[in-house]
Amino acid sequence: MSARSPESRRISSLLGQRRVSDVAMVAVLFVALLSGLVGFAFHMFWVVAIVVLALGLGYVVANARQDRGETIDRHREDEERTE
């Protein structure tokens, strides 16, 4: 069994986190689509579809913010190593 470096452990944990958020995003979009389709028969479901899509947009914005922060942190770590 080989010892894993801290960086490879960090990358694997980030990949694991990304899979969970992708599954959540697919579930949110599925519920929004289903609510939108049912909304053709029962108009109150249009409101549910809009709320669920807003939640999905929140996931996208949060992931983008987290990715940006991780990129900045990684850049700082690289600068500290080269000094």
Residue 2 lies in a domain: no
Q: What is the C-alpha separation between 32 and 25, in angstroms, rounded?
A: 11
Domains identified in the chain, total number? 1
Q: 7 in a domain, yes or no?
A: no
More confident residue, 1 or 60: 60
pTM for the whole structure: 0.51
Q: Which amino acid is at 4?
A: R
Would you say residue 14 lies in a domain?
Answer: no
Domain containing 37 equals 20-82
Tokens of 10: 């960090």
Q: Is residue 3 part of a domain?
A: no
pLDDT (tens digit per residue) in 16-46:
655 556 777 788 888 888 888 887 777 777 8
Distance CA 45, CA 39 (A): 5
Residue 1: inside a domain, yes or no? no
- Asked, for residue 68, whether it belongs to a domain, the answer is yes
Does residue 26 belong to any structural domain of this protein? yes
- Residues 36, 45: contact at Cβ < 8 Å? yes
Which residues, including other chains, have CB under 8 Å from residue 6's CB and lie 6 or more apart?
none
